[in-house]
Amino acid sequence: MNFNITVTFNSSLCHLTIDNTNSLIIMNQIQLMTFPLNLDSNIIWRLEKNIIRGFEISTFFFSGDHYDLLKLKTHLGQLIIYKKINNMYHFLNTLGKGNYSQVCLLQCKITNKLYAAKCMKKENQGVVNDIKREIFIWSTLQHKNIAKFYEVYESANSIYIVMEKLNNLRNDYDHEEIKLIMKDILEGVHYIHSRNIIHRDLKIDNILIDDENQVKIIDFGLACQFIHLESRSITCGTPGYIAPEVLTNKPFDYKSDIFSVGVVMYQLYFNKHLFQAEQVIDILKLNKKFTISRLSVLNIPDCGYQFLRSLLNHNPLQRITASQALQHWYMNSIKEDHFIKIPRNPNPKFKEYIQLSSVMYSKTTITSFNKIY
């Protein structure tokens, strides 16, 4: 990493650089200091009147030019964990809550720009390790259809992942818009799979959209690297979105994500969940026993029904990959400029239904076959 700035330590000018081993090196004519940059490293940024005056690392304080330090902060954002998030951001409100975390709206004290933060409680060391695994996986993903995360903060009780602020998908997209959304989702999923990662929790709540109608995949809390066989033996996901082979303890791979994408497509077209039941256990039963023969004939233009069947095939050997999905005839007639920029008003009744359903669908996560959180 080619990065060089000048900082001051004890009234002495120092040269700061980041070497190829991701170590922070600060030196002057008298001394050399080296600090490893990893998720066990901590920096505290010091602001004065919303200007960065310096940073503290391993009890040493370094001052410098605001703009140089801002560049340093950007460089280090995905490498280490910062302390004292309140030094840098105002907490405005809570955007949403899940079983293990909540999403908050932040405003940067320096730029006034709005961000979202995934806020997670450090319940035990196992949870902390899981959060760091999510951070590591997310930090390896750089794609237009993957939400950007900028930096991580830690307090005594919580860890905060600061990411771009995005919007929920609407529930009234037309056919051409849905095709564009599906293309974005599948391009993001194809990229994730090309990095040997399985998301394992793709659902409508984890697919957001920015102000320019660019779809983004979020939340890598359950993601695993395909090479880690032990991770792929764990049943996890959100009821109603989980591939049947996962629920029946059969071997699974990247194609388990494709089934989840099929469920999302069904919701986008029909404004309802694929598996209709009031209790989570009943949703799981329908989810587990699903076969493609149970899918009713649906009227979706451009071979959309055949495409949906290809995504939802209960047999993973016959289910298409993300790459194959992007080559499907359904994708061939996409109108790239079709998106309507002005949001429409959502259907009030469906909005109420979604809010009610989110309690049992979006906030319920399985992490082992016999235990539901």
The interaxial angle of helices 175-194 and 255-270, nearest 10 deg, is: 160
- Tell me the per-residue pLDDT of 234-285, one tens digit each, with 9 for 90 and over: 788 999 999 999 999 888 899 999 999 999 999 999 999 999 999 999 999 9
Same structural domain for residues 48 and 112?
no
Residue 83 corresponds to which tokens in the numbers above? 């302390």
Residues 6+ apart with CB under 8 A from 30: 12
Whether the per-residue pLDDT at 122 is higher than 80: the answer is: yes
Rounded to an integer, the average pLDDT of 143-151 is 96
Pair 26, 126 in one domain: no
In angstroms, rounded to a whole number, what is the distance separating the alpha carbons of residues 7 and 30? 15
Residue 144 sits in a domain whose CATH number is: 3.30.200.20
What is the tens place of the pLDDT at every residue in 33-83?
A: 999 999 999 999 999 999 999 999 999 999 999 999 999 999 999 899 999
Q: Find the radius of gyration of the CA atoms of the chain.
A: 23
Q: Please report, for the chain, how many H helices and E strands are present, in that order.
A: 10, 20
Q: Are residue 214 and residue 277 in the same domain, yes or no?
A: yes
| Helix, coil or strand: residue 152 | strand
CA distance 356 to 340: 28
Where does a domain end: 14, 49, 83? 83
Q: Which of 83, 103, 138 is the last residue of a domain?
A: 83
In angstroms, the CA 156 to CA 176 distance is 48
Q: Are 252 and 237 in contact (CB under 8 A)?
A: no
pLDDT for residue 369 is more than 50: no
Assess contact for 23 and 15: CB atoms under 8 A.
no
Most distant CA pair in the chain, distance: 77
172 & 160 share domain: no
Domain boundary among 62, 83, 104: 83
Q: State the Cα–Cα distance between residues 195 and 184, nearest whole angstrom.
A: 17
Please state the residue numbers annotated as binding site. Answer: 118
Structural domain count, the chain: 3
pLDDT given for residue 269 in this prediction: 95
Same domain as 236, residue 223: yes
User: Distance (Å, rounded) from C-alpha 34 to C-alpha 18?
Assistant: 10
Residue span of the structural domain in which 342 resides: 168-372
| 193 and 113 co-located in one domain | no
Q: Do 177 and 142 share a domain, yes or no?
A: no
User: In this model, does residue 371 exceed pLDDT 60?
Assistant: no
Lowest mean pLDDT among 93-97, 207-211, 344-348: 344-348
DSSP 248-284: TT----THHHHHHHHHHHHHHHHSS-SS--SSHHHHH
Question: Both 140 and 64 in a single domain?
Answer: no
Residues 280 and 325 in one domain: yes
Residue type, 318: Q
Residue 358 pLDDT > 90: no
* Positions marked catalytic: 201
Other CB atoms within a 10 A radius of the CB of residue 315 amount to 11
In one-letter notation, the amino acid at residue 258 is I
For residue 311, the domain's CATH number is 1.10.510.10
Q: 347 CB contacts (<8 Å, ≥6 apart)? A: 171, 172, 271
What is the pLDDT at residue 233?
A: 61
Going by the annotation, the residues of the binding site for ATP are 118
